[in-house]
Amino acid sequence: MQASGWNVCVVVNEERVVFGLLRAKELDADPKRPIEEVMRPGPSTFRPHVGITEMAKYMSEHDLETSPITTSDGRLIGILVRDDVLAAAQRQDERTTDE
Instruction: Convert the pLDDT of each residue in 55-96 to its tens digit.
Output: 989 999 998 888 899 999 999 999 989 889 889 888 887 777
DSSP 48: T
* Integer Cα distance of 55 and 68 in angstroms: 11
User: Does CATH place domain 2-98 in 2.30.42.10?
Assistant: no
pLDDT given for residue 14 in this prediction:
95
Distance from first CA to last CA of the chain, Å, rounded?
38
Measured in whole angstroms, how far is the alpha carbon of residue 66 from the centre of its chain?
3
Domain ranges of the chain: 2-98
Type of residue found at 77: I
> Is the whole-model pTM more than 0.85?
no
Neighbours of 95 (CB within 10 A): 9
Neighbours of 37 (CB within 10 A): 9
